[in-house]
């Protein structure tokens, strides 16, 4: 049976395990495995190659998560979106007049904290691609992506799994935009991550008798 890789193993080329845990791993899906397909950088002959401008994420709180378990922020999401589009060869570089503008709206994250050995999270975002020339909406999808992880420290698992749901949402949007340019975007763009978040082990306290 094929072993499904952990998310930390999938990003090992970009950072060590300890660094990835410390930073919460970057919210960039390019190069990570998803099903039924994975987003890839566009070729120069693609209609959206270097053609998209990006608006800040709308309706997103400045911080997502709790004081003890911070998940992400509006600042990080805006940087992650820009970096993802840039790595996908969709973002218009400086000096290039973009033909379309991507409008993204934060619709929420459901990542309940509960006493268990598993975590499930659902990230919801809305994406609309607008033609700059005349304001015509070229593409629109509301995308809900789900991730599940088991084992390890509960707080670390909750945070990492929630970030995986968000990362999967970005991957889903990029792949759907790619296909939409050729009229092939599915009604449901949500992808399934083919990597899981492997939380660190919980700390063990040993009581030594006096």
What angle do the packed helices 154-180 and 74-87 form, to 10 degrees?
A: 40
pLDDT > 50? residue 21:
no
Residue with the bigger pLDDT between 24 and 78: it is 78
What is the reported pTM? 0.85
pLDDT > 70? residue 207:
no
Per-residue pLDDT reduced to its tens digit, 147-189 = 998 888 888 888 999 999 999 999 999 999 999 999 999 999 9
Task: Calculate the dihedral angle through the C-alpha atoms of 17, 27, 108, 98, rounding to the nearest 10 degrees.
Answer: 180
**Predicted local confidence at residue 6, as pLDDT:** 54
Query: Structural domains in the chain?
Result: 7-193 (3.30.160.150)
Query: What residue has token string 């995308």?
Result: 143
Per-residue pLDDT reduced to its tens digit, 35-93 = 999 999 999 999 999 999 999 999 999 999 888 889 999 999 999 999 999 999 999 99
**Predicted local confidence at residue 1, as pLDDT:** 43
pLDDT > 70? residue 17:
no
Query: In the numeric block, which tokens belong to residue 41?
Result: 């950088």
Residue with the bigger pLDDT between 198 and 107: it is 107
Q: Which of 152, 155, 173 is nearest to 163 (CA)?
A: 155
């Amino acid at each position: 049976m094929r072993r499904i890789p952990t998310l930390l193993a999938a990003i090992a080329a970009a950072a060590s395990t300890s660094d990835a845990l410390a930073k919460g791993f970057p919210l960039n899906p390019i190069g990570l495995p998803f099903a039924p397909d994975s987003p890839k950088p566009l070729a120069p002959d693609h209609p959206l190659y270097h053609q998209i401008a990006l608006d800040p994420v709308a309706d997103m709180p400045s911080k997502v998560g709790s004081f003890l378990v911070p998940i992400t922020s509006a600042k990080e999401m805006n940087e992650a979106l820009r970096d993802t589009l840039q790595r996908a060869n969709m973002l218009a570089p400086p000096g290039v007049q973009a033909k379309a503008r991507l409008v993204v709206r934060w619709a929420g994250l459901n990542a309940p904290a509960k006493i268990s050995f598993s975590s499930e999270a659902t990230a919801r975002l809305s994406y609309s691609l607008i033609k700059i020339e005349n304001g015509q909406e070229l593409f629109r999808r509301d995308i809900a992506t789900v991730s599940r992880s088991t084992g390890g420290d509960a707080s670390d698992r909750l945070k990492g799994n929630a970030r995986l749901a968000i990362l999967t949402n970005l991957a889903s949007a990029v792949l759907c935009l790619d296909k939409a340019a050729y009229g092939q975007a599915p009604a449901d763009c949500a992808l399934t991550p083919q990597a899981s978040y492997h939380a660190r082990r919980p700390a063990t306290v040993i009581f030594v008798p006096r």
